[in-house]
Amino acid sequence: MRAVVYKGPFQVAVEEVPEPRLEADTDALLEVELAAICGSDLHIYQGKIAGVLPGTVLGHEFVGRIVEKGPLVPFPLGERVVGSFQVACGECAACRKGQYFACLRGGVYGFGLALGNLQGAQAKRVRVPFARHTLFPIGDLPAEEAILAGDILTTAYGGVRPFLAPGMSVAVVGSGPVGLMAQMVAHALGAGPVFAIDPEESRLEKAKALGSFPLNPKAEDPVARIRKATEGLGADLVVEAVGGEGEAFKLALRLAGPGGVVSSLGVPTVEKVDYPWLSAFSRGITLRSALANVPRWIGEVLALQKAGRLKGSFVFSHRLPLEEAPEVPPLPRAPGQQGGPGTLKQNRPPAGGFLPPTPLVYHGLPVCKVVCNKTRPRRGF
């Protein structure tokens, strides 16, 4: 079958790979309807993820139909489902506590040896382990909506929903796709004013379209503006959706008002960050920083999507057939490579090869999960 294969740093290709097969009674095989490229895929593409060997099929965001299943899979053949990017067994000590991200037998598709050595979903078919706990029926939801539930939308939901009460003021630091999803969730769940903080005007435009108040830290001080709007207090809930070296995290701590919660979703790239202990203590701040826990929240997310209250497909910018995946327009190139696809092209299959109908959705510019969150240094927070 055809699949997007990692060949080494800055090299991907669409190639023939062996069809996946059922390996356990709890496995299902899916015919992929839609897969997405994520910022994390870009880390692999750039060769930054140890343990992802050349030959790995990429992709962990997908929607598809069950075409084969083991006897312990409770869904009928033909069921249309979204996969959680996190694989969780549902039975280990961590899963039984609802902490699926810490599953002792878990993993992530297309992420190599350290994360379960599972082949990815940017392919005609994908094998899904522990299907009972990692697949979720989507009925006739559009694939471009449902696919968000398997990763970024549910990541955002888990960072907002447990901490939000109706009417609360919310500040979201970072208006990339996850930040925008967090704002959308806050609006849908009855937040009061929602402030979107980002140095890029194009992303603030998207935030504004959701009903958030755009706030560019290059133009004004977000702390002063939000205090002014909240009787001098600060936000009730601050969502940090940037990660990195902690600039946005520090700002998030300053934005929270008395009794406020700082919910950090961004992936840190540093071990430590200065924590303003006394200031947070005197304001009674609760800090929560965590990985997504998709199986915990995805049921609520899908219900809200089916009711039409969460619609996030506006974050996608490119729609491509699988065969064109290596030529996604903003893919960064290896150092020294001049603009064009370069080494990628050498790996393209011969013209006239089999073209599966599987389209590929790419989180691209202008609201670009890849470029905005991961590959460009963030400035302005």
Name the residues that contact Zn ion, by CB under 5 A: 38, 88-89, 92, 95, 103, 151
**Exposure string over 86-121, b if 16+ CB within 10 A, otherwise e:** bbbbbebebbeeebbbebeebbbbbbbeebbebbbb
Q: How many residues does the chain have?
A: 381
- Residue 71 CA, chain-centre distance (Å), reads 31
C-beta of residue 61 within 8 angstroms of C-beta of residue 121: yes
Return the number of the residue (28 or 89) whose C-beta is nearest Zn ion: 89
- Residue for token digits 């800090």? 287
Distances (CA, A) of 168 to 155, 164, 213, 254: 20, 7, 14, 17
Q: How far is the CB of 354 from Zn ion (least distance, A)?
A: 27
Return the number of the residue (29 or 58) whose C-beta is nearest Zn ion: 58
Return the number of the residue (88 or 241) whose C-beta is nearest Zn ion: 88
Return the number of the residue (95 or 310) whose C-beta is nearest Zn ion: 95
What gap in Å lies between CA 59 and CA 325, rounded to an integer?
11
Return the number of the residue (37 or 322) whose C-beta is nearest Zn ion: 37
Q: How far is the CB of 191 from Zn ion (least distance, A)?
A: 25
Q: How far is the CB of 104 from Zn ion (least distance, A)?
A: 5
* SS3 state at 96: helix
What gap in Å lies between CA 293 and CA 178, rounded to an integer?
14
- Nearest to 33, CA basis, from 319, 294, 316, 304: 319
Single-letter amino acid, residue 335:
P
What gap in Å lies between CA 266 and CA 280, rounded to an integer?
20
Q: How far is the CB of 177 from Zn ion (least distance, A)?
A: 10
Return the number of the residue (88 or 207) whose C-beta is nearest Zn ion: 88
Return the number of the residue (66 or 361) whose C-beta is nearest Zn ion: 361
Q: Express the helix, strand and coil content of the chain in percent, nearest 5 each.
A: 30, 25, 45
Return the number of the residue (82 or 226) whose C-beta is nearest Zn ion: 82
Return the number of the residue (125 or 133) whose C-beta is nearest Zn ion: 133
Q: How far is the CB of 222 from Zn ion (least distance, A)?
A: 27
Q: How far is the CB of 369 from Zn ion (least distance, A)?
A: 8
C-beta of residue 129 within 8 angstroms of C-beta of residue 27: yes
Q: How far is the CB of 52 from Zn ion (least distance, A)?
A: 14
Q: How far is the CB of 370 from Zn ion (least distance, A)?
A: 10
Residue closest to Zn ion, measured at CB: 38
C-beta of residue 100 within 8 angstroms of C-beta of residue 106: yes
C-beta of residue 292 within 8 angstroms of C-beta of residue 150: no
Return the number of the residue (174 or 217) whose C-beta is nearest Zn ion: 174
- Per-residue H/E/C for 126-190: EEECCHHHHEEECCCCCHHHHHHHCCHHHHHHHHHHHHCCCCCCEEEECCCHHHHHHHHHHHHCC
| 152-160 vs 177-188: helix crossing angle, rounded to 10 | 50
Q: How far is the CB of 36 from Zn ion (least distance, A)?
A: 7
Q: How far is the CB of 253 from Zn ion (least distance, A)?
A: 26
